Each structure stands twice: as C-alpha cells, then as structure tokens.
C-alpha cells in the first residue's frame, strides 16, 4: 500500500448502503481499488454484489455513501454518467444486440456523428489497435449471434475500452466460458492491468480470485466481510469467509443407519439449451435413511441435477428409484411421473418454481399433486379436501399467518418455504430432493425445516440436499459430495471431513490428501 | 389479357398498394423499435376522416394532409402513453385505438356533416390531383415504354410518389444513420441501448410518432387521393393487410414494398375480375381477398423461412436490477 | 406484497375505468351539443324501463357473455384470443349447415346438435392458431387476427356461392325450417293478455349463456384442468416444475375459447335471424375483449359486464332515435373501457395502490 500512497485509488466506495423495502442489500460497504490492479469481489448469490455494481453503473441510487473516482467525488445518476466517469461494465448477461455486427454494437451510443459510415470506419481503426494491444481479436463484421460466448464477451470489453473506460467491472465473467476461453480472458485482463486500467472482478469462483486478482473483498449477506491481499490468503480461507462461519446450527440427530440404495444415478449427462454441458457424468447413490449433501459453489451443475431428477430437464444416463429405471427423455420424464415414482422436490427457487405466487396457500399445497386421488371428487377437484389438508399442514408446520386463503406471495420467505416443504415432505416420498432449503429463510424456520428433513431420513427415506451454505451441509448430511464444473470432485463422510478439505474440492482440487497434508 | 388491360390492372395495383405501403412502413418504424402496433387501421381511419373533414371545410388538400397527420399522431401518442409510459399491453391498446377511431370518426362526421357518418364529397382543390409527369403525353406514343410511362408511372397523386419515396428513405435512415442504428437496437435489445446511455423511452416515442405520421399520410391518401371524401370504415381492413405485409416482409423496407405491391395486385385483380378461371378451376374472388392473410399464416407457421420479429417487440422495457 | 385488497382490484379498478370512460363520453356528448344526463335518461328508458327493452339488452348480453367467456378462458392461460369474430362466424356456419341440411323433429333436438356444431366449428377455427402457437411459436394474436379475415372471406364465399338460395340477391342462406324455431322470451314469458318482451330477440340461448358462465366457473376454479390452466398462465416455469405440459394447455385453452365464441352464433343465427347472414358475429367477438377485461376474467364479472354492454348497445340505439347522438357513441365507450381497463390499467391502478399504501401506513 505504501507505494500507492501518492496516487489516489482509481475507485473508492465509502460506506455504501442500499435497501429495498425491508431488505438491506448493501450495508456500509467500502472498497478501494488502486490503478493498475485487479480487485476481486467474491460472495454467494444474493450476497449483494450485483446491487453494488448496479449502483456503480447508475442503475440504482445508493441510500448512503460516497463514490470517489481518482480521488474526486463523483455522482452517478445514470449509465451515461458512469460511462463518462470512465466506468465500463461487462454484465453477466451481455448487453449486445444479437443481430448487429461487432462494429455496430461497439459504436451504439458512441457513434460520434449522424451518419454511420464515418463512425464505423473510425471504430474499425481503433478496434484494430485495441485488438493488437490486448489480444482482443474479434472479426469486426461478424454478427453477434454467430460468435462464441467468449468472443461476445470480448465485444463487451471492447465496447468499454472504445468508450475509454479506465475502470472495468466484470460480473461473473467466466460463468459461461470454457476453461480455455477463461484463460484467454485472464490474459486480456492481465494486459489491461499492465496498461494501468483498474479491474473489478466479481465472481464466486475461488480459483479465479487466486489466479487473477491482486486483492479481494468477500461479501456475505449484503456486508463486506473482509478485504485481503490475495497473495496472503488461501482458497480454503476464502471459502470459509464466503459461506460464513456463523454458529453451527446444531441439529439433533442420531447417526444414520443407511439401508439399501434407493436412488442410484449413473453417468448422468445434461446439455442445456445453449448447448453447454452442465452435467458431465454424475454417479451418485443414496441409501435409505441417509442424507447426501451436495456442496459446491453455485453454478456448478447442482441446479441442473435437481431439474433432471425432478423431471423437467432431459438427460442421458441412468436413474433408478428402488431399482426402477426412470424415463429421462420420453413422455414419462415430467414432474408428475417423477412424483408418481416417489420423488418429491423442494426446488431451489420457490418464487419461480415451487409456488404460484398469486395462488392461495391452500391451492399451493396441492401444486404438482393436483392429480392425487384424495383431492378429487368425481370429475371435479375437491377444494374442501385440499383446504382441509392445507389447514392441517399449516398447523403442523406452524405457518404464519395460519390463513390458507392468503395468496402465497403474502407470506414471508420462511413461511413460503414451509408451505413448499410441507407439501413435499408430508407425502412421505421415497426420495426428497431439496435445493437451498433455507435460502432467504429466518432462523426459526431454518431449524424447523432442518428437523423435518432429519425426520424423513429417520423414516428410512433418501434425501438429496443441495446447498451453498456449508454449515447447512454439515448440519444435515451424512455423506457429502462436492460438485465442481458438472463433476463430482469428491465424496466424504460428514464426520471425516472439514471445511478446509471441502473448500479445496469446491475449488476443483481433487487431490485433497496431498494438498491438505503435503 | 391484352397489354392495355394489364396496364390498367397494374395501375390499379399501384393505387391500392399505396395506402398499404404507407401503413406498412409506419408499422415498420414502430415495431422495429419494439412497440407492436395492431392499431394501424385505427390511426389510418382517423387520419382519413381528419383529411376528409378538413379538406372539405378548407378546400385545401394540403391542410387536409396536415390534419390527417395530426389526428394520427394524436392516436399514436395514446398508444405510446399506454405501451411505453404505463407499460400496458400493447396489443390491447391497439385494439382500443381501432375501436376509438371506428366510433369517433362516424360520431364526429355525423355531428358535423349529418350525412350518415361520412364527409361530403371533396372536389378539386380539396383532393390531391393526379400529376402528369413531364413528357408523358409526348412519350405516350412510343410502343411498350410509352404507355408504361404515361399510364402506369405518370398520373398518380403526389402521395403515391411520396409513399414510394418513403421506402428508400426509410431504408437509408434505418441502415445508414445513427438514429436508425439505435432504433433497430431498441427493438432487439433495449437493455443494450439503455446501458449504452441512450433513453429507451425517448427512442420509442420517436418511433411511435413516425408511425403516426406515416399512417396519417396513408389515411389522407385514402380520403382525398384515392377517393373524394371520407366514408365510414373506409380503411376496410387495410391496416391489418399492412400488418400482414410487414410480417411477410420480415420487417424490412424493400421487401415491404414488394409485399405491398403483391397484396395490392391481389386487390386489383379481385376488384376487376370477380372469379378467376384457371383452365377449369375457378378461383373465387373471396380467395383473392383472403390470400394475404393465408400467406401470412403459412409464413408464420415457419415452414418457409420463419419471420424474425424484433426480439423485444411487445414488451415494455423494465430496467433489470 | 399485495398492493391492494382483492375487492379493490375486482371492483374498484373496473368501476373507476368505467367512470373515466363515462366522463369522457359525457364530454363527447356535450361537444355534440346534447345533454349527457338527458342522454342517460333516454338510454335507461329505452333499455331498462320496459320488458321489450330488457329483451334487447338480454339478447346482446347473450352474445357478449359467450365472447367474453371465450376471451377470459384463453386469458387465464395467458393467451390473447382476438379471433372471437372469426370463431363465432364459423360457429354460425356450422349451425346453418346443420339446420339447413338435417331435418329435426323438434327444436330441442336441433338446439342440442347446434350447440355441438357451433362449438366444434368455433373450436376448429381456434385450433390452427393454437397449434401454431404451441408447436411453432407463431404469435397467436397475429394468427387469430388473420383468421378473422380468412373466416370473413370463407363465410362470404359460402353465402354467395353455396348457401344462397337461387334467385336471391342478398348474401345470406335460406331460412331455417319453422319447426326448429327457438322460443323467444316473448313466447316463453307472456301469459294471458300480458305480452312481455314484445318482439324482442332474446331467446332461449340466454339460458345457455348463463349455464356457460357456471360451467366456465366450475371448469376454471373447480377442475384439475382449470387449475393447470391458471397455474400455466401465472408461471410457465412453475408449471413445468409441476409437470404441466405447456403445449397441451395452450391447445385445450384455445379449443374451449373457440367453442365458446362459436356458440355465440346460436343466439344470432338460430335464435334471431333464423338463417345465416353475413357478419353473424355482429362485432361481439371484439366486444368480448372489453367484457372480459371489465369483468376481470371472472364469469360473474363477465355476466354483469355483458349486461352493461347490452344496456349500452340497446340504450345507444334508443339514443340515436331520440337525439342526434349516433350509435357509434357506444363503440367509443367500448374503446375507452378497453383502453382504461386493459392498456392503461397501470394508470388507473398506480394512484389507487398509493392510496391504499397510505391507508396502511396510518394504521
């Protein structure tokens, strides 16, 4: 730090706070980014990284706090001001016009004159120079939709540089890149750093932080937990900071008594709609009376694993429930067939999948099970039976307010989640898939939901738990499998591992024995 | 069919294609900017009435044209208010505008002129007269080319020439200017426009107003170019044929001209021949009427090159995060 | 998260929209040089103060109930069926072919078969746009508009070239047999010397419309299909999670919608004109959009909105007899209702939301 004392930070945030209604997305955040450095911001989904960046780019106004650029107070009321202040942003979802050429995308909003031809030829020249300077080669006349994701990202970077950005912010830039493309990106960023640009790299991938950044801030639940020099830190330390070292939630449970295998998964592969392979040969077995926790940083294939098991994404490979093989691509690969096979599913995203928010609580308690015999009365649905059932579930799960006629959107996160968990668990399924069971859920509800999961296990059922909260994984799991980049990088008994080892596995390190002991 | 008949049919094609073309280009600007517009019909109708009424009262075709544009832009602004400012459903707004025009035109016409919801006939001065291009008469005697020039190219109202001039101008504006680049971008990816520091709202309002202006000219042509005064429902579904043509042309100016000429030809043929005999098979006139729509549906089904509407069309832009 | 109590959303928003429409219409009436209060008096007198007036109102309302329900069912699955006009005309075609070519011993039998024919023809006309939407992603609003015009051309052809009796000039079919004449309200409700609903077109189809209201209510809120329909309409991602097939729901919703629109023609074709005429839909396919918007897609709301529009249309006709206000005033009101309840919904809603938020803040 001493060597920088004469130059002001390229970017300094001082005490930034931002709330949305009762939710505080950013609490008193301060960061300094020196010129010619790469600063990482790491944190889980919902940690508040995106909000912070939106404030920097003029999408939101901070409730409190200051922004200084090169030591000067700067107001950023809109994107135009951000661009003028020398901030360039590469969004996670690219802001490109898919059927425009690279050049057209680059000049959009920075055309210079009324007529395009001059702007285009000027841009073509400076593009050539930027490409040579920073290894940013893209065919200027190619259409965006014909480019690979990696090249599209280069266009985004070029857009920022064309607008003379000195501070470049990249939001989860490698989420969609192949490893080779990611390596290339980091070479580009390195070149930019050498030219004196300041770069903020937002990511949840530890490896990138370790490889690319000079310093790094960890965010959790809207707060800046710590800022470290990358060289003085370790992946394991960062992983722990990220998922939080909050008091371990103790769950009363007896050691598991695993029985016969219930859920068997062999060589499961899934390619998403963009053609990216998200599951790259998953093998897992869950026995009766056992909770298998899938640990891992978000975005490594956990979501797709749940979707395939839940019946709404197609895959290849084999899935068996109690020996019966499931249909993975045909007519019987839908949510209803999965439920008939004894698989219940608490999805990761209750707002978009688990609940119909405008529906009442009682309507939601039948969602996905609306074909159940007990809900029918001849050709009609028996709303009475559903309501009665809902009332019972609401009482047993202590949903508040205990009003089944209230729309789902009017319940708090914890109570919404209780409705979903009640619906899925109360049917005594053979297999329970449960994703992020306590995301956005208050402490009281967390304990309750955890207890329900263990109870189901003790009835001799199989539970597949996906969570990005490491302490939740530890609290509930009997066995822990770690997912990284569509693979299982390791499986451990919960009693025989620790956060450090899992942190390494989550970073893609498979050889933890050597790393931990050697 | 002899040469003279052919010329007459083609001449009538040009006349009938003109309002289609203007409305189609109007829709092109609006929809290219991401604002769907099924209210072309209504805007055109209201413009036709405004033109007929003002031209009758003032005796000036040009004042009629100005009134038509003003009326149409007013309706366009209602659509903009609903779909851009209040982020309402653009389709429902279009439906409302069509009814508003349908009702208001007759209501006002009846109140003002008491002729059953039409304006009195507009005579010379109030109409856009047919223009004889230079040398049309001298060249008329030249075989083949002469009649084509004298009867087909020459002898239309000025608005016809304007309509066909709108095509290259639009193509130039869309593809060669900064405004065109931004306009096309806002219909595909308003987030890209927004993050580039350009106002999505202002761009879209501009597009909607251009749409209003062109619908205004289309309406004026119907009332005081093609005919001599406003008659109730005189647009007769042309706004929807224009919409079909727009889809058919895949939202591109030159193709729009081609499609509108094709649809105009269908109308001209249907007008001249009731049923068409094709060696034993008789094509009923109704089939000719329905053909633009049938062709569009087949095209929409995507069996022959699926149309690619602007990606952000129909949706109000809400800033993410 | 709920910004307003449900009753405000269901009643207050449409009522305010209606008041806005009424206010603007009053201005229009004033501009014409008439008195809005007087105009309303004429309308009420002509439409509501005699059974004959009511007979007209109920006749129109029957049309609007069917087309309103048609729009609403599609709307619950988040589909905008703007093709009610075409589907209704096809329904009329189905009825006409049945009534003209099959001899029925009694109107009841004919009516039952006509319901089926109207429903089938209407549904068939909705089926193609539905499949194109579900399987080929073709925008259903555009295809249903196109199908309206194709239907019009088809009907024109059928009436001019096929169904028109020899020698007749008018593009219309021959008259249906007398013995399948549907009982009108006048025939059903007049007793002794008291003649009610004198020469009003309201007929037994009205009761079918009421049954349709109940049926659709049951379907949407009491069956699995309705449950899936609403779930799909609210959230496609959640529907997939629950194992609901989007293509299947899209097609079924449109079939039901088309069938309802088709049945509208029972009232106009079999109940009133007793032959097929051009434009048997009488524009009701479009008014259905206003009715569904105003009735908040709920059968009870639609029933009352249809009555309201029936009143407006009948009242408007009366108005044009006694004043210089043409019937097109009703079209303007209809447009304004669509504008305020549909497109400018947020404009009406936002101040209300703020108002309710204020009220809550005080407590």
Residue C219 domain-assigned (yes or no): yes
Phi and psi (nearest 5°) for A194? Answer: -60, -30
Residue C95 domain-assigned (yes or no): yes
Neighbour-count burial for B245-280, b at 16+ CB within 10 Å, e otherwise: bbbbbebbbebbbbbbbbbbbbbbbbeeeeeeeeee
Residue C16 domain-assigned (yes or no): no
CATH number for the domain including A280? 3.40.50.300
Q: How far is B10 from chain C (nearest CA, A)?
A: 24
Residue C212 domain-assigned (yes or no): yes
Q: How far is B321 from chain A (nearest CA, A)?
A: 7
Q: How far is B319 from chain C (nearest CA, A)?
A: 17
Count structural domains, chain A: 2
Q: C360: part of which helix (H) or strand (E)?
A: helix C345-362
What 3-state DSSP class applies to A71? coil
Q: Where are the beta strands (DSSP E) in A257-315?
A: 261-271, 277-287, 290-295
Q: Would the CB atoms of A310 and C241 count as touching at under 8 Å?
A: yes
Pick B181's closest partner by Cβ from A57, A96, A111.
Answer: A111
The CA distance from B258 to A21, in Å, is: 54
Residue A253 domain-assigned (yes or no): no
Q: Would the CB atoms of C242 and A357 count as touching at under 8 Å?
A: no
| Residues on chain A touching B182 (C-beta within 8 angstroms) | 108-109
Q: Is the pLDDT of residue A517 over 50?
A: no
pLDDT score for A443: 67
pLDDT score for A518: 34
Count structural domains, chain C: 1
CB-based contact (8 Å) between A335 and chain C?
Answer: yes
Q: How far is C20 from chain B (nearest CA, A)?
A: 15
Pick A108's closest partner by Cβ from B182, B311, B321.
Answer: B182
CB-based contact (8 Å) between B104 and chain C?
Answer: yes
CATH number for the domain including C281? 1.10.3470
Q: Is the pLDDT of residue A233 over 50?
A: yes
Same domain, A231 and A287: no
Q: A324: part of which helix (H) or strand (E)?
A: strand A324-325
Taking residues A16-20, what's their average pLDDT? 88
The more confidently predicted of residues B69 and A50 is B69
| Residues on chain A touching B184 (C-beta within 8 angstroms) | 97, 100
Pick A104's closest partner by Cβ from B177, B181, B319.
Answer: B181
Same domain, A238 and A316: no
What distance separates the 2 farthest-apart alpha carbons in chain A? 81
Helix pair angle (C140-157, B238-248), 10° resolution: 120
Helix pair angle (C224-234, C51-76), 10° resolution: 70
Residue C262 domain-assigned (yes or no): yes
Interface of B with A in 171-190 (CB under 8 A): 175-182, 184-185, 188-189
Structure tokens at A112: 């210079």
pLDDT score for A45: 63
Q: Is the pLDDT of residue A87 over 50?
A: yes
| Residues on chain C touching A335 (C-beta within 8 angstroms) | 240-244
User: Which of A112-116, B132-136, B210-214, C233-237 has the largest mean confidence?
Assistant: B210-214
Q: Would the CB atoms of B189 and A119 count as touching at under 8 Å?
A: no
Question: Is residue A17 exposed (0-12), middle (13-18) or buried (19+ Cβ within 10 Å)?
Answer: middle
- Average pLDDT along chain C, 363 residues, taken 10 residues at a time: 70 87 91 90 92 95 97 95 96 96 94 97 97 89 92 94 89 92 92 88 96 97 95 94 93 98 96 92 90 94 95 92 88 90 86 78 44
Across the A:B interface, residue pairs with CB atoms under 8 Å apart total: 74
Structure tokens at A284: 């897992």
What pairs with residue B130 in β-bridges?
B157
CB-based contact (8 Å) between B136 and chain C?
Answer: no
The CA distance from A171 to A93, in Å, is: 9
What 3-state DSSP class applies to C198? coil
| Residues on chain B touching A107 (C-beta within 8 angstroms) | 181
Structure tokens at A505: 């596995």
Query: Out of A352-356, A433-437, B293-297, which region has the weakest mean confidence (pLDDT)?
Result: B293-297
The CA distance from A506 to A488, in Å, is: 10
Q: Would the CB atoms of A357 and C241 count as touching at under 8 Å?
A: no
Quickly count helices (H) and strands (E) in chain C: 16, 0
Q: How far is A434 from chain B (nearest CA, A)?
A: 27
DSSP of C282-314, one letter per residue?
TTHHHHHHHHHHHTTT-HHHHHHHHHHHHHHHH
Q: Is the pLDDT of residue A248 over 60?
A: no
Asked if A458 and A254 count as a contact pair (C-beta separation under 8 A), the reply is: yes
Cβ-based neighbour number of residue B315 at 10 Å? 14
CB-based contact (8 Å) between B198 and chain A?
Answer: yes
Q: A17: part of which helix (H) or strand (E)?
A: strand A11-20
Q: Is the pLDDT of residue B20 over 90?
A: yes
CB-based contact (8 Å) between C147 and chain B?
Answer: yes
Chains that touch A (3 or more CB pairs under 8 A): B, C
The CA distance from A225 to A219, in Å, is: 5
Phi and psi (nearest 5°) for B4? Answer: -65, -45
Q: How far is A367 from chain C (nearest CA, A)?
A: 7
Residue C187 domain-assigned (yes or no): yes
Pick B93's closest partner by Cβ from C154, C329, C339.
Answer: C339
Q: Would the CB atoms of C150 and B87 count as touching at under 8 Å?
A: no
The CA distance from B95 to C196, in Å, is: 38
Across the B:C interface, residue pairs with CB atoms under 8 Å apart total: 154
Q: B25: part of which helix (H) or strand (E)?
A: helix B3-32
CB-based contact (8 Å) between C235 and chain A?
Answer: yes
Q: Would the CB atoms of C335 and B97 count as touching at under 8 Å?
A: yes
Q: Which of A434, A439, A433, A413 is nearest to A44 (CA)?
A: A439
Q: Would the CB atoms of B103 and C331 count as touching at under 8 Å?
A: yes
Q: How far is C131 from chain B (nearest CA, A)?
A: 9
pLDDT score for B304: 66
| Residues on chain A touching B34 (C-beta within 8 angstroms) | none
What 3-state DSSP class applies to A338? helix
Residue of B nearest to C337 (CA): B96
Would the pTM of this model clear 0.80, i.e. be above it?
yes
CB-based contact (8 Å) between B197 and chain A?
Answer: yes
The CA distance from A474 to A467, in Å, is: 10
Print the domain residue range for A359: 261-517
What is the bridge-based pairing of β-strands A479-484 and A23-33?
unpaired
Taking phi over 0 as left and psi of -120 to 50 as alpha, with beta for the rest, A120 belongs to alpha
pLDDT score for A2: 47
Same domain, A265 and A239: no
Identify from A347, A357, A358, A385 which residue to disrupt to test chain C contact, counting C C-beta atoms within 10 A and taking the largest count.
Answer: A358
CB-based contact (8 Å) between A384 and chain C?
Answer: no
Residue of A nearest to B180 (CA): A116
Query: Out of A60-64, A287-291, C230-234, which region has the weakest mean confidence (pLDDT)?
Result: A60-64
Residue C34 domain-assigned (yes or no): no
The conformation of residue A348, written as its DSSP 8-state character, comes to S
The CA distance from C260 to C202, in Å, is: 18
Taking residues A269-297, what's their average pLDDT? 91
| Residues on chain A touching B311 (C-beta within 8 angstroms) | 98
Residue A251 domain-assigned (yes or no): no
Same domain, A223 and A302: no
Report CA dihedral (C9, C12, C13, C14) to the nearest 10 degrees: 110
| Residues on chain A touching C224 (C-beta within 8 angstroms) | 370-371, 376, 381
Residue of C nearest to A380 (CA): C223
Asked if A347 and A310 count as a contact pair (C-beta separation under 8 A), the reply is: yes
Q: Would the CB atoms of B321 and A59 count as touching at under 8 Å?
A: yes
Same domain, A312 and A216: no
| Residues on chain A touching C240 (C-beta within 8 angstroms) | 312, 335, 353
Give the pLDDT confidence of A392-427 residue by residue, as tens digits.
Answer: 999 999 998 899 999 998 888 889 999 999 999 988
Same domain, A228 and A92: yes
Print the domain residue range for C213: 53-306
The CA distance from A246 to C304, in Å, is: 58
Dihedral sign of CA atoms B87, B88, B91, B94 in order:
negative
Q: If pLDDT is split at 50, 70 and 90, which confidence band does A176 have?
A: low
Residue of A nearest to B196 (CA): A109
Dihedral sign of CA atoms C351, C81, C290, B79 in order:
positive
Give the pLDDT confidence of B90-108 residue by residue, as tens digits.
Answer: 999 999 999 999 999 999 9
Give the pLDDT confidence of C290-345 residue by residue, as tens digits.
Answer: 999 999 999 999 999 999 999 999 999 999 888 888 889 989 988 998 899 888 88
Pick B191's closest partner by Cβ from A51, A95, A115.
Answer: A95
Asked if C143 and C132 count as a contact pair (C-beta separation under 8 A), the reply is: yes
Whether the bond into A401 is cis, omega within 30 of 0: yes
Give the pLDDT confidence of B134-189 residue by residue, as tens digits.
Answer: 888 888 788 888 888 888 888 899 999 999 999 999 999 999 999 999 999 999 99
User: Rounded to whole angstroms, what are the CA distances from B53 to A203, B63, B70, B148?
Assistant: 65, 10, 13, 35
| Mean pLDDT taken over chain C | 92
Structure tokens at A430: 């053979």
Same domain, A283 and A166: no
CB-based contact (8 Å) between A391 and chain C?
Answer: no
Asked if A430 and A462 count as a contact pair (C-beta separation under 8 A), the reply is: yes
Phi and psi (nearest 5°) for B210? Answer: -60, -45
Residue of C nearest to B299 (CA): C138
Q: A464: part of which helix (H) or strand (E)?
A: strand A462-466
Residue C250 domain-assigned (yes or no): yes
Q: Is the pLDDT of residue A118 over 80?
A: yes
Q: If pLDDT is split at 50, 70 and 90, which confidence band does A247 have?
A: very low
| Mean pLDDT taken over chain A | 88
Pick B86's closest partner by Cβ from C330, C335, C347.
Answer: C347
Asked if B239 and B22 count as a contact pair (C-beta separation under 8 A), the reply is: no
| Residues on chain A touching B180 (C-beta within 8 angstroms) | 116
Same domain, A114 and A239: yes
Structure tokens at A225: 């937990």
What 3-state DSSP class applies to A96? coil
pLDDT score for C360: 61
Q: Which of A284, A291, A306 is nearest to A476 (CA)?
A: A291
What distance separates the 2 farthest-apart alpha carbons in chain B? 70
Helix pair angle (B200-221, B158-176), 10° resolution: 160
Same domain, A140 and A232: yes
């Amino acid at each position: 730090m001493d060597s920088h004392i004469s130059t002001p930070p390229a970017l300094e945030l001082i005490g930034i706070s931002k709330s949305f209604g009762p939710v505080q997305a950013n609490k008193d955040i301060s960061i300094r980014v020196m010129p010619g450095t790469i600063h990482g911001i790491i944190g889980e989904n919902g940690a508040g990284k995106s909000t912070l960046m939106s404030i920097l780019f003029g999408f939101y106004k901070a409730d409190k706090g200051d922004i200084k650029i090169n030591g000067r107070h700067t107001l950023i009321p809109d994107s135009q001001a951000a661009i003028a202040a020398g901030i360039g942003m590469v969004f996670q979802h690219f802001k490109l016009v898919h059927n425009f050429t690279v050049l057209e995308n680059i000049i959009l909003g920075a055309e210079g004159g009324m007529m395009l031809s001059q702007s285009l030829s000027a841009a073509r020249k400076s593009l050539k120079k930027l490409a040579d300077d920073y290894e940013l080669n893209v065919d200027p006349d190619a259409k965006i939709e014909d480019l690979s994701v990696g090249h599209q990202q280069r266009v985004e970077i070029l857009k920022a540089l064309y607008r003379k950005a000195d501070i470049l912010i990249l939001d989860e830039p490698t989420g969609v890149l192949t490893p080779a493309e990611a390596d290339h990106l980091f070479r580009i960023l390195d070149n930019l750093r050498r030219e004196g640009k300041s770069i903020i790299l937002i990511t949840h991938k530890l490896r990138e932080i370790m490889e690319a950044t000079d310093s790094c801030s960890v965010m959790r639940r809207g707060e800046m937990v710590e800022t470290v020099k990358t060289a003085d830190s370790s992946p394991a330390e960062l992983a722990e900071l990220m998922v939080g070292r909050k008091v371990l939630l103790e769950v009363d449970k007896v050691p598991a008594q695993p029985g016969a295998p219930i859920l068997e998964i062999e060589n499961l592969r899934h390619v998403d709609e963009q053609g990216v392979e998200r599951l790259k040969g998953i093998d897992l077995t869950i026995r009766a009376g056992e909770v298998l926790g899938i640990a891992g940083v978000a975005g490594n294939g956990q979501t797709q694993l749940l979707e395939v098991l839940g019946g709404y994404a197609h895959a290849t490979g084999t899935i068996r429930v109690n020996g019966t093989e499931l249909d993975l691509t045909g007519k019987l690969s839908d949510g209803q067939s999965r439920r008939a096979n004894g698989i219940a599913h608490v999805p990761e995203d209750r707002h978009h999948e688990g609940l119909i928010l405008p529906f009442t609580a009682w309507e939601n308690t039948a969602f996905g099970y609306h074909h159940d015999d007990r809900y029918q009365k001849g050709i009609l649905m028996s709303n009475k039976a559903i309501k009665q059932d809902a009332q019972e579930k609401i009482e047993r799960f202590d949903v508040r307010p205990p009003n089944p006629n209230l729309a789902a959107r009017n319940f708090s996160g914890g109570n919404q989640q209780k409705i979903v968990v009640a619906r899925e668990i109360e049917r005594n399924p053979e297999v329970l898939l449960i994703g992020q069971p306590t995301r956005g859920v208050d402490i009281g509800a967390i304990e309750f939901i955890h207890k329900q999961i263990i109870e189901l296990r003790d009835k001799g059922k199989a539970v597949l738990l996906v969570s990005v909260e490491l302490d939740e994984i530890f609290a509930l799991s009997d066995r822990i499998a770690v997912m990284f980049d569509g693979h299982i990088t390791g499986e451990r008994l919960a009693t025989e591992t620790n956060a450090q080892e899992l942190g390494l596995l989550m970073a893609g390190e498979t050889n933890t024995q050597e790393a931990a002991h050697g | 069919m002899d040469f003279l008949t052919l010329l007459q049919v083609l001449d009538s094609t040009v006349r009938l294609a003109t309002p289609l073309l203007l409305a189609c280009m109007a829709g092109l600007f609006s929809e290219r900017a991401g604002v769907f517009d099924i209210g072309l019909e209504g805007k055109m109708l209201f413009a036709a009435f405004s033109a007929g009424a003002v031209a009758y009262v003032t005796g000036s075709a040009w004042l009629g044209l100005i009134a038509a544009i003003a009326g149409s832009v007013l309706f366009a602004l209602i659509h903009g208010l609903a779909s851009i400012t209040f982020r309402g459903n653009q389709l429902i707004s279009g439906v409302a505008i069509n009814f508003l025009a349908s009702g208001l035109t007759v209501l006002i016409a009846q109140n003002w002129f008491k002729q059953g919801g039409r304006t009195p006939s507009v005579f010379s001065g109030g109409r856009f007269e047919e223009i004889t291009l230079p040398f049309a008469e001298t060249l008329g005697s030249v075989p083949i080319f002469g009649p084509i020039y004298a009867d087909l190219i020459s002898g239309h109202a000025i608005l016809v020439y304007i309509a066909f001039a709108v095509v290259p101008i639009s193509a130039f504006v869309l593809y060669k200017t900064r405004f065109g680049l931004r306009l096309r971008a806002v219909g595909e990816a308003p987030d890209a426009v927004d993050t580039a520091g350009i106002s999505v709202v202002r761009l879209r309002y501009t597009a909607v107003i251009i749409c209003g202006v062109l619908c205004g000219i289309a309406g004026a042509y119907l009332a005081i170019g093609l005919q001599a005064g406003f008659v109730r429902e005189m647009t007769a579904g042309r706004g929807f044929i224009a919409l079909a043509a727009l889809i058919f042309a895949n939202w591109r100016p030159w193709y729009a001209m081609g499609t509108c000429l094709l649809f105009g030809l269908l109308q001209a043929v249907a007008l001249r021949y009731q049923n068409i005999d094709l060696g034993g098979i008789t094509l009923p006139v109704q089939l000719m009427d329905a053909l633009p729509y049938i062709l569009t549906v087949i095209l929409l089904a995507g069996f022959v090159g699926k149309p690619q509407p602007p990606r952000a069309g129909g949706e109000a832009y809400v800033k993410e995060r | 998260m709920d910004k307003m109590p449900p009753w405000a959303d269901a009643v207050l928003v449409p009522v305010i929209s209606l008041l806005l429409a009424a206010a603007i219409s009053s201005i229009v009436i004033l501009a014409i040089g008439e008195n809005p209060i007087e105009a309303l008096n004429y309308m009420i007198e002509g439409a509501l103060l005699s059974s004959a007036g009511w007979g007209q109102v109920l006749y129109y309302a029957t049309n609007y109930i069917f087309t309103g329900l048609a729009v609403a069912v599609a709307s619950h699955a988040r589909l905008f069926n703007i093709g009610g006009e075409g589907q209704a005309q096809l329904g009329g075609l189905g009825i006409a072919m049945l009534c003209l070519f099959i001899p029925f011993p009694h109107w009841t039998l004919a009516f039952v078969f006509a319901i089926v024919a109207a429903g089938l023809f209407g549904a068939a006309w909705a089926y193609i746009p539905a499949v194109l939407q579900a399987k080929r992603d073709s925008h259903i609003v555009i295809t249903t508009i196109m199908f309206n015009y194709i239907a019009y051309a088809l009907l024109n052809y059928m009436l001019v070239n096929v169904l028109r009796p020899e020698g007749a000039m008018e593009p219309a079919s021959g008259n249906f047999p007398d013995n399948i004449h549907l009982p009108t309200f006048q025939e059903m409700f007049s007793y002794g010397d008291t003649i009610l609903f004198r020469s009003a077109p309201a007929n037994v189809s009205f009761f079918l419309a009421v049954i349709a209201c109940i049926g659709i209510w049951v379907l949407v809120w009491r069956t699995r299909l309705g449950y899936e329909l609403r779930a799909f309409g609210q959230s496609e991602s959640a529907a997939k999670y629950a194992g609901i097939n989007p293509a299947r729901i899209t097609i079924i919703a449109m079939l039901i919608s088309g069938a309802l629109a088709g049945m509208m023609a029972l009232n106009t074709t079999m109940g009133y004109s007793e032959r097929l005429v051009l434009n048997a839909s009488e524009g009701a396919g479009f008014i259905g959009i206003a009715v569904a918007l105003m009735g908040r897609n709920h059968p009870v709301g639609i029933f009352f909105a249809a009555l309201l529009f029936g009143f407006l249309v009948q009242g408007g006709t009366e108005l044009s007899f006694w004043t210089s206000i043409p019937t097109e005033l009703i079209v303007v009101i209809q447009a304004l209702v669509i504008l305020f309840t549909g497109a400018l919904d947020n404009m009406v809603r936002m101040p209300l939301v703020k108002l309710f938020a204020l009220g809550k803040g005080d407590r």
